[in-house]
Structure formats: structure tokens, C-alpha cells
Structure 1
Amino acid sequence: MAQNQDPQEHILIARNNETGQTGAVVGQNPDGSPQTADIKSTPITQFVCFNKQQNPIEAFLANFIRQAKNPSLFGFFKVPYDEAATTGVVMSDMLADPEGNKEMLAAYKVNLPEKTQRRNNAIDESKIDWDTIEKEWGIKRDDLAKSGDLTSMLYNRKSQLVSLSPEMAGEKFDLEARLSFRTNPDGSVTLVPHFPQKEPKLDVEYKGYTFTDDDKEQLLKNGNLGHPVELLNPETGKMEKSLVSLDRITNEIESVPLDKVYIHGHIGKTELSMPEILSLKEGKMVESKEIELADGRKFTTNLQYNAERRDVEFIYEQGQAQGEKNDQKQAHNNWLDENGNIRKITQWSKKPLTEQQQADYMAGKQITVTDVKDRNGNDCTVFVQFDPEAKRPKTVYNYPDKAKVVGVAEESKTQAAVNNEGKSNEATNKVNEPLQKGQTAPKDESQQKKQNKPKGPQP
């Protein structure tokens, strides 16, 4: 069996070292193990074809190592694609006695990469000096925990925008920033604020790499570069292949080494094929993928790995219907998680919600939020409930028990309808000022004069 020196395409033959079962790789099972088929009876077109440009073997093995519970259970051997019916069949027979044929199989054996954690190791919270963080930035641990941001931060991701009140030269400032933790060489943990920038700095060299015009166009269009580039690791001084994305909130440039990219095998109820997983791991876009979420909702979208989120995201084309685009964006990024479940909210209109309110909202129940400011700064009471059809919370101004419509308190009904919905109230339709809570008529002599002013042009 003379092995081709540098074949462009390969198939992989996997052997279960426990059962002795051998077959060509045709995909990956949900548990991470390779899905195989008999190499003698299965058409070659059903085998996964690996090549450097589209489906690198290294990407498949790296994803396998991260997902499989027991990677050492399998051995892998690569065969040139055009020799599957000859060399592949012979090798399948030889693998029935791997020890006896060890020397001949050695030239085809693929060494597995060293196993790394499926996710970045969680930061040791005991290393965090919360007293100093609160003193310097005005943010409390409990607030981050209640919002769910702390969990993201402990797993090396950023929080959402958080209100900060740092004190500088004896003066306090109100700022907004995304937050993350950085582990220092001495093991201590530092809070890092990421303040929104006006625009991304794409003309400045990033970790030893200069963005081309095409790179800039892709980053501004999709938020993702779409292919690996060699970046300098400042800790090791070595260059490593990485994926690059933009933080759409702060306009920061973010990257993740290719060997730390992990792709889930499914989104909601939708399974990803092995070629799709490998393409995503290389930063490429999987176009027009039909997605079914956990609640049964279906839509078609493009998929791409985002280095800032450390996950696959939905990418929208300009030509997509706006309604479908908004529907998908809300489902994935705002009000629903990737499995179609209602996301937790901890406040509404800057009013903190109790644990019970949060639980009720996530269960689809109506919650009452009092002393809320409308868009004009006026007080009102709001009833909030998630609308499964609109896929977002609804706040309609009416009694909640009337036709099961979520609404607001009666004393706020006129105020909300006029101030927020642009509706007209006959008794106040010439008053140009926002109505106060409970107001259904002019509140003073000045408003009464405006209301009594005749219609039409004045002489």
C-alpha cells in the first residue's frame, strides 16, 4: 500500500477500540462519537471528504476531542479519497488485528490532538476582590449575579452593558460599559471595562495582522471576518490561527484561537452536519440553513461563528424580509435563547424585578410593574407579559382581565394612549404637553385655554 505523498482529499476510517467495529466516517453522533458506515458496502459519496480548503481533518478532530466523552476509545486512519475502494477496504480488514498490523498501519494513523476543556476553564471567583470592584466601579456582585452577567463573565465572556459609577479625583461619573474578567500572571483577577467606541479601529494593526479592504468590508457587513488569520499571542509570542469578529456593542475587535473554537452539534432541534460544523469552525458561513427551535418555530437563516460571543450566531442578508429578520433576531439575541425559551429579565424600564416576578415572566405569566416612567417621564403602572406570537414582551394599555389582553391600570389608560401611542383624547386633544397620571381633562387654566382655542387658521 503506497501512500500518496500529498493527496488533496481524504476519508477517515474510525475504529472503536472497545468493540473492534470499523467504518468510514460519514458524520458525528450527538454524543460526539464518529458516525461510521461499512466501507465495503457504502457508496463513497456518503463518506465525509476531508480537504484543507473545506473540511480540514484537524478541525474535525479538534471538535471531536472537545465533544466526545471518551476520545481515546477511537483510533483514526486517513486514506486518500480516490483509494477508498482499494486501500480503504484493505485497511478495514487489517484493523481487525491492529497489533499484528501495527507497522503497516502506522503510516496512515492520525494522532489525536491533546484534549482541552470543552469551554475555557471557569474563573475562580474566590480570586475576585469584590470590595475593591465596588469601591472603584460602583458595581455589586449581587447585581451582576441577578442579571446573569456574572455567569458569562466567569466563563471568559462579556457582560451586557452595565451602569458604572467610578470615582475619579473625588468626583463620581455615570458610565456604561461591558465587563469581563482578566486573570493576571500572579493568579489575581482584574475587572476590565469595555467602553463603547464610536467606530472600530480597522486601520490599526491588530495583534500583528493588518486588515485588507475585503477584511474590513466583511467585518462591517457581518461582524465576522469569515476566515482564520495568523495573530500574535502576546503571552507566548507565537503566531496562531484565529477567528476575528467585532463586538457590535462596543466596536472592539475580538479574536479566539482556532483550537479553542467549539461548535455545538445542534441548534434547537436542528442537527448540524459534519461539513457544516467544520465550515463553522473555520469561520465560514453556512448559508440558508433551516432552523427549528425547541418550541417548534422554524425559519431559514445564515450561520456563522462569532469570536466575541464564542458561539454560532444568525447572520441576515440585506434582502431578507424585514419581518423575518426581526423575528429571527429577537428569537436568538433578545427575548428568546437559542433553544426558543424565554430569556430571563431582571428589570423593566429600569425598575428591578423580584425573583418571583422574574420566574412568573419566564413562565409566560403576566407581571405588574409599578411607578414606571413612560417615554415622556410620566408615572404609570405597566402589566408585562410575553407574547409567544410576537416573540417579545407586550405592554398594551388596557385592563388585563378584558379579553385576556395585557394592559395598564385604569388611571394610566388615557395617559399611555395619548403619550405613547399617539392617540387622541377629545377632552385634551389640543393640549401639546404630556398628560399626567390619571389625567383625562385639561389640568389647569393654561391647558384649558389651549383646549378652547378654535380650529383652523387664525386671523
Structure 2
Amino acid sequence: MKQDTKEQDVLLVKEKNEAKLKAVTGFDENGKLKTEAPKQANSASFLKINRHGNPLENFFTNFNRQYKNPTDFQFFRVPATLVAKTAAVLDRMLKEPDTPSNKEMLGKHEVKPEDFAKTQSQTSKEKPNLIDESKVDWKQLEMLGVSKGFLKNTKNLEPMLNFQKSPGLIPITIKTDNLNIRTDARLAFRQDADGNFKLAVHAVRNKPEIDRPYFGVTLSDEDKQNLLKTGTVGRVIQPQYKEGEITPVFLSIDKLTNELVAARADKIKIPDEIKGVKLNENQKQELADGRSIYVEGMTARSGKKFNAHLQVDADKRGIGFRFDNQQQQNQNEQKQVRIPNSLLGKELTEEQQQKLEKRETIYVTGMKDKKGEEFNAYIKINDEKGKLDFYKWNPDKAQTKGAEVTPDNNSKTQVAVNSEGKSNEATKDVKEPLKKGQEQPSEKQQATKRIRAKTHSM
């Protein structure tokens, strides 16, 4: 039975570099979008959409799988019986899309691909981790002063449960009978012969060990320069992990720990397309050989275009991006907070440092302001901004938080005068810094104040 066209809609699309809307007819054999002019004569080939059903889900599932940058397209849903007329009206409105009346009408007809991409993303997030948590030896973590909750709160747990190293450095404590050793390391789970997962610790090194042979491979001066400059050796090397057996690998430096990391060349897949840019055969061969290529016109998730050097990164087990402002890029990527031994001249106790590691609030007394006078404050780690926040009140209890250094009552007047340049009637014209707990100027300060006031009046 033929379906009534009054119950059907047609999907119109406007591509980024096209001036007019076109009607969608489907996908070609290569998965690309097929379109026709929105004329009544072409109506038989239009993709018809049941107004009361949800066939758009399948269409946009295929669309989002095929196109790396769906934001280059705008889709509009219009009645099948009024395709030509509605398309002409929408074309005029798209010339001035910010006009309120045009914006409202366009919004009523627009269908956004990203709405379907979000649904797919949410579904993918529900996939279980590759490592079963019940097979992880969590006691090993506790022995290093690290909890499962800490890994989860700092967003390190999920990558680790998928056979990756922790994205950031984690402070660990190694305790012996007479000594506690504190350091930073990247952690990972590695499977043993029994199928259980033990902890692998990748501690921070002072510098990469590039002067000694790597499993029988002596690195050349060019290799060393490449490692120090770009983080990769720039070629495929062939170490012998087993006697008489050569394994081709890519070699890189872990930028957080300075550890040399290798990845088997046969396990790294060179993609045909990266961030919306198709690679030619020469570019793919350069990457497969471990060399760097420069690619322009790639598209970030935000939709912005960017250029970068691409090269296989053994630490990431894939293609790495290197920008001209690499130092700034590294700073943006790493916001991991290191636990300090002291703050503003005040040594932190081991208990205070452990509380900070657990993301708990501590109260520190005896810190010094710009004038060298003491003050107190509550302190807590801000992982999102990668820094320590200072509070007037306890942020775990107070309803209103202040994210600035604010002293307690014993130091309030002293800090206001010494560091903030403020003054009340009692301290007016007193230039000498007040001491801790001092709210009134001394007799000597009072005399100086009277002389200044008299001079000012004269």
C-alpha cells in the first residue's frame, strides 16, 4: 500500500561551501551523501521520512560514522508536498540567519546531527572496561599511599582499567623501616601468569637513558637529537628482546617520566584519514617508517582548523601531534598538581601532605605574606585548574567559599595593612608594618602618625 505523502517529510541539506539547499536522496556506494535539486520533478528520488516514526536515527548513525566533521552540514526537515516552496523560503532566510524571525523559523525545521552523535557517545561510554576490577590487586596501591577513590577522582582509573598508563603523574610513598621515599610516577595494571593484575610503577627519571644501548641497539647522535627534540627516535629500530630474535619497534620518550617506551611496529595501524584529512600513500609510508609529516587543515572537535606535525608515538600507541608551540601544549595537557613540601615559608607535615594527596582540606598556620608577616588559611587542591586554592572558610563545611588567601582573625588587621594597603582609623598614616595579632599602632607608631598628620595639615 502506497504511503500518503502528507504523512512524509523530506530531508534538505546545506553544505558549508554551497549557496543553496539540496534534497537528500541517500548514500552512494562509497558512503558519501547523495543529493538532488529540491524540485518536484525529482521527488521520486528524495529520501522520505515517516512523520510519526524515527527513521532519522539510522540515517544519522551512518552519517556520523562516515563524516569526520558533521558540522559542515545543516539539515532541515520539510513537508514532502511543499519541498520546492519551502526550500526557496529557507534559502532566503539562510542569507540572514541571525534575524530573529528567520532564526525562529530555521530552528523549527533544523535537524542537528550532533544530537544523534551524543546518543551514540553515551552508549559507547556504557561499555565495560577491559580489565575486571575484581582481578586487580588493590592492596598494592594502598601500600604506595594511593586509593582507588583517588584514581577515580583524578580521572586516572578508567584509562588504567583499559590497559593504559595513568594519564598524569601520581604521588606515591615507598615506606621502609627507617625511611619514607616520596616520588611521582605513572601507574599501570599488568596481567600476571595467573590472570590477575599487578601494579606496574613507571617512576620519574632525571633524564632519558639514551647513552646506553637499547637491547642491543646503539642510538646514533641523530637518534638522540630526535628523541630530545621531538620525543621519538624518527625511525624503526630492531632491538633483540630475546637472543637471536629481532623485533621492529617504534621508540619514544614518555614526556612525564623520561622513560624510553617501545611499541611493536606491526601493532601500530597507520590510518587513511586523520582529523578529516586523507593521507596519501607517501605520507602513510613516512609514518610507517617512523618519520614525521606536516599536515594542514585538520579539524578539531571544536570545529576549528589546525596544522600539526604527525608522527607515531610509542607511548600513546598511535599517532602523536606535535605543535610549533609544543612547550605550551604540554603545559595545557598536564595540570597534575604536585604536593609541595612547604607553602609560603611554612613546612608541611607528612600528615598534611597525605591529606592533600587524598584531596582533603588542610589548615596551615604561620605562612608569610609579602611583608614577611605570618597569616593562616585553609588549603585544598583544585585538580580542574591544576593548582592549590586558599580559603577564608573551611570549603568542606562553609556554604560560601572564598578562593583567595584570607587570614584568620588573629592576622586579619596585620594582613590588611601590610599586604592589601588598607587602613582603618587606628592605623591611618602608620607606615611601619604591624606585627601578628597587633590591631593598634604602638606608642612610637602613634607619635610618627601625629607628626605626619601635622605636616599634612600645614
TM-score by length of 1: 0.47
**Larger helix fraction of residues:** 2
Higher RCO (CA < 8 A, seq sep 6+): 1
Structure showing greater radius of gyration is 2
TM-score by length of 2: 0.47
